[in-house]
Amino acid sequence: MKKLIVFNGVSSSGKTTLASRLIEYVEGSKFFEEIGGTLRKSVAYNVLEPIKNFDIEVMKRELIRDVEIMKCDGIPIVETWHIGNIAYMLSRNPTLFPIYARILTYKLRFFEPFAILVRINSETFRNRIKEKLEVKNIADVENFYKAIFRNTCGLYSFFKINYMVVNNNEDVSKSLAEIIDAVKIAIR
């Protein structure tokens, strides 16, 4: 089984910052950035709109990336991976869940993920998201991301994925130290 470290969390929680810093502490690791975030930059996108083709395209690209992850000699550090993408899809297009659940169930025969769920409080979310997205109704966006967080936790249980939760409101160094300690145990 291919071990990998997966970062999940809402937009602006610090997944990229923490994951890219973790590679300094995990010998031979390689960082694989988020598929959905990259795709969002190239299309007209509103996080609250259920665009079925978007979620399908993310999954296609995720499957292609899995080939590269499997080829990685060291420990892949992956931002979002299938779990995070399914959590988003559940909030926008839940009819796709049976398809993606079968895909992830199959993938878990080959991959052994350890997930890090990055959590931030409402105030931190509001401050960071305004820098990243044009937000008209912050309450709706915040509620959407709270659903993503709940979906992610539910998916960990559903697929029996080992994970930790790290609070990342202010002190990135403290969050990173917690992650490093947990990852050392997870990748043994």
What pLDDT digit, counting tens, does each position of 119-131 carry? 999 888 888 877 7
At 187 the pLDDT is 86
Can you tell me the distance from the alpha carbon of 111 to that of 109, in angstroms, rounded to the nearest whole number? 6
Of 34, 8, 4, whose CA–CA distance to 166 is shortest? 8
Report the run of H or E that residue 116 belongs to, with start and end: strand 111-119
At 42 the pLDDT is 63
Question: What average pLDDT is seen over the chain?
Answer: 89
Per-residue pLDDT at 83 exceeds 60:
yes
pTM score over 0.85? yes
Structure tokens at 153: 């936790």
First to last CA, the chain: 13
Q: Please state whether 55 falls in left (phi above 0), alpha (psi between -120 and 50) or beta.
A: alpha
Q: Domain 2-186 falls in which CATH fold?
A: Rossmann fold (3.40.50)
What pLDDT digit, counting tens, does each position of 43-67 carry? 555 555 667 788 888 899 999 999 9
40 burial via Cβ count (<10 Å: 0-12, 13-18, 19+): middle
Domain-wise residue ranges, the chain: 2-186
